[in-house]
Amino acid sequence: MPVEVDKKTGLINLYNDQISYVIQILDHRYPVHRYFGTVLTDMTTLPPLPTGNHAFAVDTQPDFPYSVTSLPLEYSTIGSGDYRQPGYLITSPAGQLLPILTATGITVTEKPLNLTQLPPTVAKGTAVTTLIIHLADPVTGLNLDLNYTIFEHTALILRSTTVINHGTASLTLNAINSLQLDLADDQYDALTFNGTHAHEANPTLAPLRPGIQCQRSLRGTSGPQQQPFMGLARPQATEFSGEVLGTALVWSGNFQAAVEVDQYAHSRLTLGLEPTTFQWQLTPGTSFQSPEAILTWSMDGFNGLSQVFHDFGNQLQPSLTPDPIAINTWESDFFDVDATKVRQLIDQATDLGLEMVVVDDGWFVNRHGENGQLGDWQVDSVKFPQGLRPLADQAHQQGLKFGLWLEPEMVTTNSQLYRDHPDWALHYQQRAPITARHQLVLDLSQPAVQEHLLTTIIELIETNQLDYLKWDMNRHLTQVGNDLLPGNQQGELYYRYVTGLYRLLTKLRAHFPALIIENCSAGGGRLDFGMLAYTNQTWLSDLTDPVDRAKIENGFSYLFPPSCFSTHVSASPNGQNGRVTPLQTRLNLASIGNLGFELALENLTPAEQQRVIAQVNQSKRWRSAFNDARFYRLTDWRDQPDYQAWLLVTRDQQQALCFYTRSLSSAVKVSTQLPLHYLADQRHYLVNGHSYAGHGLNQVGLTILPAKQDFESQLIWLQATD
């Protein structure tokens, strides 16, 4: 069991063959952070903790010569002399903050936490060890557990917090973080991701400075604006080398990630629920569990960090079986979809070797535009006189799967559902409802709403023999209130909404284990590790132009494996930005991830049809080997290169795919040497009929011929010959 405990010093080394996380129960009182990094076998080398009084600090005591003002505490609050960002804020019935809690013991187990309301984070059979440090407040009877689950073969620890009220009076949680990490210095750059619709996952690196740097969401979801993640990298770190650490929240709601540099140039990183939209009444005998936070470390730069996140994401997903190659109706028909068009599309898809037809928005009653009706989910009998089942039957008879778009969390005021149950929508009492995209949000905190949606979706799937759902969410939350909870519990709704969503998805997956669910929120607006646990793939962005889409995929690749990317070929000129790009470039990019199509197939020329067939067949040959391949970025976005390159390497290093795309071509035709870095040095690889040593390809590079036109791309297959 990879936990070493020194009872004399209070030192605890949580370790595997790659990392160590060292905690000290200082004077049998407070857990303090001592070390996080490469595996440590000798804890006696740790430097001493600072002692003595400091200006403007609470006094030290003879039996405890440390000032909490400067201690690297594992979990802390304000009011006891620690003036930094708190890990938690809990108030007593008198409205006063509870102090820093003291340690009462530890528990070590080889099991992960069994969190019934939150995403399952450890796949069955995965070897882990969980350390629980028990803290308590004897005055109120509050118990607080700090949970650490370390993966045996991965540089990854899951952090979370459990609070239990063993007292006789209610307590109020005003803030609770899943992770607090105190670091000895401030020599880091903070890596974060920001964006908006059709411009997701843009990386930013900013040096730490005195004070607080913060990322958060107030939208009710993780959102494209900010990702529930923060990384800290040494200034010299690159894609290929250097020390980096990262943390992400397994959560799909409001969050806050913050790093504070104090007056002593110490850094404190916190990650958890966003406090201004969260409050929880902890009544006697009840408990509360924070979402789990992923904590990783690497000396191999940002690519090394990504490998840990990718491995975690792959074991988190419901299935790693490659998803079928789909054609979706949206960009060809938008809302103007009907039975005749879908029948023709099924035949066209069969001819091209595609494997699934998906009917997107517009299939249900009164849906001819964004202001159409949501919530009743009844098939439009004009567009589909015989319903959807004959189309699903046709697809199945021709060897294809059949799927449908749905936006279950939304309702419009013109729907029968809203007329019958206006109280099922999030709302403020005595206030006019606020719509966005002409719609309201159903209150998923209510069990009745969850059961209604589950029944509705099950009936849709069974009636129409659906193989796939595109689960969309096209607005963020407003007026987060309801009539059910008392006033002092309205602050619980943001949290209860997300756990209600998880509960609904859990039940749906249990009912249909083979169902393919695509996560969509106006693109990648809710791509996070929470949703990854319930969905097979994610529509990354509504922007399908391959030039901009490659940048979006590059950003998301820092955290998420390509196995969850839904990547479709769309028409040219592109419908969002008007850019004209070669078909082969669109095909090459869409082949990284789950290949699909989003265009009018009848507009393809015979030559283009043959090119599509060739790419589809090639993708079918590759996908089983590359679905869980290692993914590496070969260019650094900070250098602003005019090209972008990725490398996918199978786990056995027998095969590799190199994706390369250049923006604008040049009249000066010069080849580019692209070092691949991650092949097996000792092997030889066949590239376009020629054999090259892996060491040479890694160090000298693959020769990329100059582009003949703008936005040209290449997808190069490498096969080991020994």
The pLDDT tens digits for 18-68 are 999 999 999 999 999 999 999 998 898 899 998 988 888 888 888 899 999
- pLDDT confidence bin for 436, thresholds 50/70/90: very high
The pLDDT tens digits for 63-87 are 899 999 999 999 999 999 999 999 9
Nearest one of 395, 409, 530, 561 to 471, comparing CA atoms: 409
Mean pLDDT (whole number) for 665-690: 95
pLDDT of 470 strictly over 90: yes
SS3 464: helix
Mean pLDDT (whole number) for 79-96: 97
pLDDT of 418 strictly over 90: yes
Burial (Cβ within 10 Å: 0-12, 13-18, ≥19) of residue 371: middle
**Which residues are registered as beta bridge partners of 717?**
657
Contact 54/67 with Cβ under 8 angstroms? yes
Contact 662/643 with Cβ under 8 angstroms? yes
pLDDT of 640 strictly over 90: no
φ, ψ of residue 146 in degrees (nearest 5): -95, 120
Which of 542, 545, 548, 628 is the catalytic position? 542
Positive or negative: CA dihedral 580, 585, 587, 593? negative
pLDDT, position 642: 84
Residue 157: CB atoms within 10 A of its CB come to 27
Mean pLDDT (whole number) for 360-367: 98
The pLDDT tens digits for 319-333 are 999 999 999 999 999
Mean pLDDT (whole number) for 701-722: 95
* Cα gap 35→94, rounded to integer Å: 38
Greatest alpha-carbon pair distance for the chain in Å reads: 86
Tokens of 170: 């209610």
pLDDT, position 1: 60
| Residue 542 among the catalytic residues | yes
DSSP 665-680: --SS---EEE----S-
Give residue 699's Cα distance to chain centre: 33
* Cα gap 608→86, rounded to integer Å: 59
Q: What is the pTM of this model?
A: 0.97
- pLDDT confidence bin for 702, thresholds 50/70/90: very high
Contact 293/160 with Cβ under 8 angstroms? yes
The pLDDT tens digits for 592-621 are 999 999 999 999 999 999 999 999 999 999
Residue 63: CB atoms within 10 A of its CB come to 7
